[in-house]
């Protein structure tokens, strides 16, 4: 069943593109401000220990992992971006999926832009991170990271809720069939195991003794 009238593919693609560009612009604008206004690698309290600014340039992933293989992160980000664009052009007509994938694409493009255009150069640029919340996690992150993490959680929720890319919902029967395809193919297989063991049990034409 469909919860709402689906979008046309062109409309879904347009929505994804608008949201992606908006997130990309916000991410790059805040990074430009951070580079211009913040001292490198010095904490700047905003709300005490709750929120701080701490400007760093990260060659790796979260917690600076994989610093020596920066190009791998560039390839991974590019692959995710291409995958989302392909879904936008061919599969997505659900509003919820369009919004989530658009925001996710914007976050991916934000960090991919750093990898491609920032020092020390293509395709091993360092990502600009400047947001620190010590009470929550030791990692330092940026606006793009926020959208990547939160939208990945939203993707998982939509999958768990059974909402498909076209806006239809997975029915209980379909979910059970995916878990146990044999029982779905033969719904009467387990209806009466005793009858299967004794075929004359339910035969009214069999005389009793």
Query: CA 77 → CA 70, 105, 197, 206, distances in Å?
Result: 11, 10, 58, 70
pLDDT digits (tens, 9 = 90+) for 7-40: 999 999 999 999 999 999 999 999 999 999 999 9
Would you call 180 a catalytic residue per the annotation? no
pLDDT in tens, 97-139: 999 999 999 999 999 999 999 999 999 999 999 999 999 888 8
* Distant-in-sequence, close-in-space partners of 6: CB < 8 Å, separation ≥ 6: 93, 94, 95, 166, 167
**pLDDT at residue 148, as a whole number:** 97
Q: Which range among 64-68, 144-148, 200-204 shows the weakest confidence by mean pLDDT?
A: 200-204
Q: How many residues does the chain have?
A: 209
Name the pLDDT band for 209 (thresholds 50, 70, 90): very low
Q: 115, exposed or middle or buried, with CB in 10 Å at 0-12, 13-18, 19+?
A: buried
Sequence-ordered alpha helix ranges (H) in 91-203: 95-117, 143-161, 172-179, 181-185, 193-197
Is-contact 189 176, C-beta < 8 A?
no
Token pair of 33, please? 């401000």
Residues 114, 129, 200, 203: which is the catalytic one? 129
Q: What percent of the chain has pLDDT over 90?
A: 68
pLDDT, mean over the chain: 86
* 145 catalytic residue (yes or no): yes
The catalytic position among 27, 114, 145, 194 is: 145
- On whether the CB atoms of residues 54 and 74 are closer than 8 A, the answer is no
């Amino acid at each position: 069943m469909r919860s709402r009238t689906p979008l046309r593919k062109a409309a879904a693609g347009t929505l994804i593109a608008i949201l992606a560009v908006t997130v990309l612009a916000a991410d790059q604008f805040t990074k430009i401000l951070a580079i211009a206004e913040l001292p490198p690698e010095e904490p700047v309290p905003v709300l005490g220990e709750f929120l701080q600014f701490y400007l760093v340039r990260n060659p790796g992933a979260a917690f600076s992992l994989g610093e020596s293989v920066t190009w791998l992160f560039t390839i991974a980000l590019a692959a995710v971006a291409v995958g989302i664009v392909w879904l936008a052009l061919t599969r997505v007509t659900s509003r919820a999926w369009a919004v989530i994938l658009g925001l996710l694409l914007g976050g991916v493009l934000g960090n991919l832009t750093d990898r491609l255009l920032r020092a020390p150069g293509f395709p091993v640029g360092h990502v600009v991170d400047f947001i620190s919340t010590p009470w929550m996690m030791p990692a330092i992150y940026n606006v793009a990271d926020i959208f990547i993490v939160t939208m990945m959680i939203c993707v998982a929720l939509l999958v768990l809720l059974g909402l498909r890319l076209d806006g239809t919902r997975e029915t209980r029967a379909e979910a059970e069939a995916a878990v146990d395809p044999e029982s779905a193919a033969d719904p009467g297989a387990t209806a009466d195991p005793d009858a299967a063991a004794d075929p004359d049990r339910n035969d009214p034409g069999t005389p009793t003794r």
